[in-house]
Amino acid sequence: MSPNEPDAAARAILKANDRGGYTVPNGRVYPFQWNWDSAFVALGFDRFDRERAWTEIETLLRAQWDDGFLPHIVFWKDDPGYFPGPSVWGTGKQPVTSGITQPPVAATSVRKLWESAKATGEGERYRARLEALFPKLLAWHRWFATCRDFEQRGLVVAMHPWETGRDNSPEWDVPGEPIDVSKVGDYVRRDTSHLDSKMRPTKLEYDRYLALVQFGRSTGWDHARIAAENPFRVADVGMSMILLRANRDLAALANELGKCDEAGEVRGWIDRAERGIGWLWDEDVNAWCSRDTLTGRSSGFVTSASFLSFYAGLSGPRRDAAMRAHFDRIAGMVEFVMPSLDPADPGFQMIRYWRGPVWAVVNYMIGTGLAEMGDPDRANRVREDTLELMRRNGFYEAYSPIDGTGSGGDDFSWTAAIWLAWADGD
C-alpha cells in the first residue's frame, strides 16, 4: 500500500459502517452500536469529520438509563445476525439495550475531541456540545462509583466477561467456575457461523455468558441486587485502569467548564482509586492482574491490560520497572506487541480472541500511556507494530502477535479508527 492508501481505506471503512449517527463495529458480526467501540471510532472520525465524531458519542449517550448506566450494546435496529439479541436481554428500555456496560473510554475520547477542536480554533463552536455531554459522562462515572465499586475500594468490579470488553480472557476462567450453566437451555450462536470457531470463545464460555445474562434479567437488571448477588464479581485490571484514566480526563473537563463541585467529586474517585488499586498488584508474578472479589484470588495472568497502569497515570519505581521488564521479555518473544496474553503462558493461542491476539485499541492505550509517562522507545515499538499490522494485512478485528495474520472480522471500525488517530505523520 502507498502511504496514503491505508488512510483512504480506513476512512472508507468508517463511512461504510456508519448507520446514520452511529457506527457498527462490523456489519456482519456486530451489527449494532457498541459502547467502547464508539468511543474509539469517534477519534477516527475526528481526523476527517469533526461533526460526525461528536455525533458518535452523543448517539451512544442517548441510550443512557436514568440511573446513569450506559449499556454495552444499543440495538437501534433489529438484526438477526447477532446472538444474544434484544429479546434475550429483556431490559425493556427504549432504545433497546443490553444490561451490562463496557470499559469507560468515552470521557477520555471527549476530552481528545474537545482539545482537537480547540487546537484548530473551533473550541467555541463545540462548547455547548461539551456542556451537554459532561453531565451525562459524570452520571455514568457516578454509576460506576456506586454500582461497580459498591465497596468503595477504587476498583471496577465486572459483573460479566463481556463487560470487561476482553470477553474470553483466561482471567475469567476460575472466577467463572461457580456459574451454574445447567439451566441455560438450548441456543444457536451466530458468531461461529460468521467466523472460524477456533477464533472464538468456547461453548462452556458461551454458556457462562448466557447464564449471567439470565441472572441479570431475573433481577430486572437491578444493579444493586446484581452487585450483591451476581455469581461473577471480578475486579478487572483493565476497567479499573481505564476508569482511573477517564476520571482524570473528566476532572480536566470539569475544570475547563468551571464546574468546581463536580471536579471535586471526580477528584474523590481518583483519590479512592489511587489508594485502592494496589490490591490488583500481584507480588508473585510481579504485575498488575485482575482479582476475584469473591475469593480474593489474583488471576496471576499477565495480559495486555496489565500494561494499562501507565495510561492510568500510575507511577512507582518498583512496579514500573517490573512492568517494563515484562514488556521487554514479551517483546522479545513476538514479532508484534502486545499480545492479549503472555506468550509464555501455556494457554496462549495466537488466533483465539483475547487469549493471544493483538488488539489495536488496547495497543493505542498502552502506547499513549507509555509516551505520556516518558518511555518513548517502548511507546514507539507499540505504535509501529500496530501500524505495521494494518499496513500489511488491512483492518482486522485482531492480529496474531507471531505472524501478523488478521483474525476475527475484517473491515473493523475501531481498528480503522486507531489507524486514523495514530498514523498522523506517518
Residues that bind ligand GLC (CB under 6 A): 25, 30, 34, 36-37, 165, 167
**Which residues contact residue 241 at a Cβ distance below 8 angstroms, ignoring those fewer than 6 apart?**
277, 288, 305, 308, 309, 311, 312, 314
DSSP tally for the chain: helices H, then strands E: 17, 9
The smaller minimum CB distance to ligand GLC, of residues 314 and 398, is found at 398
Ramachandran assignment for 157, one of left (phi > 0), alpha (psi -120 to 50 degrees), beta (any other): beta
DSSP sequence for 240-265: HHHHHHHHHHHHHHHHHTT-HHHHHH
CB of residue 241 to ligand GLC, shortest distance in Å = 15
Among the listed residues 37, 56, 191, 397, the single catalytic one is 397
Q: Give least dist CB 38 to ligand GLC, A.
A: 9
| Residue nearer to ligand GLC on the CB measure, 30 or 45 | 30
Spatial distance between the Cα atoms of 131 and 153, rounded to a whole number of angstroms: 30
Residue number, 91 or 415, with CB nearest to ligand GLC: 415
Does residue 262 carry a catalytic annotation?
no
In the bound state with ligand GLC, the residue whose beta carbon lies nearer, of 44 and 154, is 44
397 labelled catalytic: yes
Q: Of 75, 61, 66, 74, which is closest to residue 104 (Cα–Cα)?
A: 61
395, 385, 290: which is closest to 331 by C-alpha? 385
In angstroms, the CA 265 to CA 383 distance is: 34
Q: For residues 299 and 169, what is the distance between their CA atoms, to the nearest angstrom?
A: 10
Classified as helix, coil or strand, 288 is strand
Catalytic residue selected from 49, 79, 115, 167 = 167
* Shortest Å distance, C-beta 140 to ligand GLC: 16
Q: Would you call 217 helix, strand, or coil by DSSP?
A: helix
Q: How far is the CB of 181 from ligand GLC (least distance, A)?
A: 19
Question: Is the Cβ of residue 141 or residue 166 nearer to ligand GLC in the bound state?
Answer: 166
How many residues are listed for the chain in this entry? 426
Q: How far apart are CA 418 and CA 412, in angstroms?
A: 10
Q: Which is nearer to ligand GLC, 36 or 144 (CB)?
A: 36
Alpha-carbon gap, residue 158 to 275, rounded angstroms: 19
**Residues with catalytic function:** 167, 397
